[in-house]
């Protein structure tokens, strides 16, 4: 969503039916290098590369000790005052945030578990087009 397109290129997918499958997409994600648009800032490109790093040991947020703190201190999120953000929630929301942070820190980043199949019905009717990437012909 940072760039308005997937970082995993599937060139010619519409022309080749064998490349128009979830299995092929998974293979692209596992094997191919991601392409970061030059239009992204250095910080945005860095956080995207960090989250999508193929090596679990080097993936952003997967440090065995730092966990979520590694994400929170990334330069991309520097402008966020995490203390103020968390203090703006009521007490029950804070418990939810702590549970989320704890579960993120407890997540086994070294697991190479592959998702069996994505339930695409969850995305039915969802569409996003980055308005900055639209041409004048696309505008209505």
What is the rounded average pLDDT of the residues 109-129? 69
Q: Is 27 exposed, middle or buried (0-12, 13-18, 19+ CB in 10 A)?
A: middle
Tens of pLDDT, residues 76-116: 999 999 888 877 776 666 667 666 666 655 556 655 566 66
Pair 60, 71: CB distance under 8 Å: yes
User: So what's the pLDDT on residue 11?
Assistant: 59
DSSP result, 88-122: TS-HHHHHHHHHHHHHHHHS-TT--PPPS---GGG
Its CATH architecture, for the domain 17-112, is Orthogonal Bundle (1.10)
On whether the pTM is more than 0.85, the answer is no
How far apart are the two ends of the chain, measured CA to CA in Å? 22
User: So what's the pLDDT on residue 83?
Assistant: 84
Tens of pLDDT, residues 28-85: 888 888 888 888 899 999 999 999 898 888 999 888 888 888 999 999 999 999 888 8
User: So what's the pLDDT on residue 135?
Assistant: 59
């Amino acid at each position: 969503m940072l760039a308005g397109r997937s970082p995993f290129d599937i060139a010619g997918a519409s022309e080749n039916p064998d490349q128009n499958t979830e299995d092929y997409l998974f293979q692209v994600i596992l094997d191919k290098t991601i392409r970061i648009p030059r239009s992204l800032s250095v910080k945005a490109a860095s956080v995207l590369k960090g989250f999508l790093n193929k090596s679990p040991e080097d993936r952003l947020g997967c440090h065995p000790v730092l966990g979520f703190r590694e994400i929170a201190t990334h330069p991309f999120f520097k402008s966020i005052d995490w203390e103020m953000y968390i203090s703006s929630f009521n007490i029950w929301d804070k418990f939810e945030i702590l549970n989320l942070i704890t579960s993120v820190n407890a997540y086994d980043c070294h697991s190479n578990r592959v998702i069996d199949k994505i339930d695409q019905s969850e995305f039915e009717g969802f569409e996003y087009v980055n308005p900055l990437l639209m041409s004048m012909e696309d505008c209505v």
